[in-house]
Amino acid sequence: MAVIHRTTLTPTKVEHLAAWLPTRPWYRGGPAPEPERSGGFRLDDPAGEVGIEFMVTTDTSGPEPVSYLVPLTYRDAPLPGAESALIGTSEHGVLGERWIYDGCHDPVLFTELLALIEGRAPAMAQSVTDTPDREVTRAYTGEPFPRGELTPRPADDAHGTRLPTPHGTTLHVHRVLAPVPGNPPLPRAGAAGHVAGGWPGPDGVRLHAVLMTLDAG
């Protein structure tokens, strides 16, 4: 169970993202983004060592707000071989120095994300300890994924991040989200699985989007 500490993080996650987002091929804004945390959810690391967060951040620097999905992991030491995935380091008021990674490169996040899609791991509230996030929905129609830690092989392009899975499918992480008010939208036809979620929009309207889609090939 991940414990949410009410403390400081210096620099903040949003400050790190303001510098990191323009380096991504899927980023749609200008050179000086103004990200704000809009919502998201967490997963628990069964070993209790790695923090796993799926943050929705909205950049308000352009003519229209753009919402991005940013999977993050937090570690108490560098992840070997993941230097290019490091977003930054911060000082946590309780836990000390933390290494913050683009979570699509982290085997712990990848393993638990497939467990979520399969229905073996619950989505947890972003800011409340030991509380499921009932708004996160998932579906999967394929064979069970292998147990044990899985190594991700992510590839970014202008549309998001592709993660090949052990069954020959591809998990598409929709970095640029297409939110709609009301009920969660359906994934595209033929998808073997998906994850959808919601967050508060302007004027109290609840926004929802498909966050990830699992496709054949």
pLDDT digits (tens, 9 = 90+) for 102-119: 999 999 999 999 999 999
3-state secondary structure of 51: strand
- Check pLDDT > 70 for residue 14: yes
Q: What is the pLDDT of residues 34-50, one digit of tens each?
A: 999 999 999 999 999 99
* DSSP summary character for residue 38: E
Average pLDDT in the 49-76 region? 95
- Check pLDDT > 80 for residue 93: no
**What is the residue extent of each domain of the chain?**
9-216
Please list, in sequence order, all residues whose beta carbon lies within 8 angstroms of the beta carbon of residue 79, skipping any fewer than 6 positions away. Answer: 73, 85, 86, 99, 101, 105, 106
Q: Tokens 């987002």: give the residue.
A: 21
Share of the chain above pLDDT 90, in %: 76
Please list, in sequence order, all residues whose beta carbon lies within 8 angstroms of the beta carbon of residue 208, skipping any fewer than 6 positions away. Answer: 179, 180, 181, 182, 183, 184, 185, 196, 197, 198
Confidence at residue 213, expressed as pLDDT on a 0 to 100 scale: 96
**Gap between the Cα atoms of 78 and 83, Å rounded:** 8
User: Quick one: pLDDT band at residue 75, thresholds 50, 70, 90?
Assistant: very high
